[in-house]
Amino acid sequence: MKPLIVLLSLSLLLLSGCASKPDEALYCGVVSGYLEPDQQQDLYRAVVTHLDGKPVISKPNYRLSPGEYTFTFAELISSPSLKVKLAARVPKTLTINVETNIRYHFAAKFNTDKRYRGNDSGFWQPEIWLEEPQECELAVK
């Protein structure tokens, strides 16, 4: 009976060694622009044009390892009260500190504190309007 107990104990010990934690190199967070922001809060859609200075094709979600990233956004503000020239509608950057298992929703915040006209590009800024828990794991390459 004792050899059976020893054998079972060794088997359990070996099996517990097989169970491993998730690979921390695969941890990630998500930066997203797929949700429609609340225009009642002067939030509008934006699109990503660059990530860390490199041009990208805008997509709904960016799965990223934890760390700091600089996004460049173009606003899609469609308010009739916006009276700036096309030249004032310039892209702007936002640095996001991506944490594990967090989803960050971005938008263009329309500043309605004053009337913006002509070449005044201060009418908007990119912002994170919602953070929520989201399990995230990068794909194994």
Least confident of 21-30, 79-88, 131-140: 21-30
Beta-carbon neighbour count of residue 5 at 10 Å?
9
Domain span at 63: 22-133
- In this structure, is residue 81 part of a structural domain? yes
* Cβ atoms of 123 and 88 closer than 8 Å: yes
CA–CA–CA angle 116, 126, 113 (5° rounding): 30
Q: State mean pLDDT over 36-40.
A: 94
- In this structure, is residue 141 part of a structural domain? no
- In this structure, is residue 139 part of a structural domain? no
> How much is the pTM?
0.80
Look at the chain and report how many structural domains it folds into.
Answer: 1
CA distance 51 to 53: 5
81 or 94, which is more confident? 94
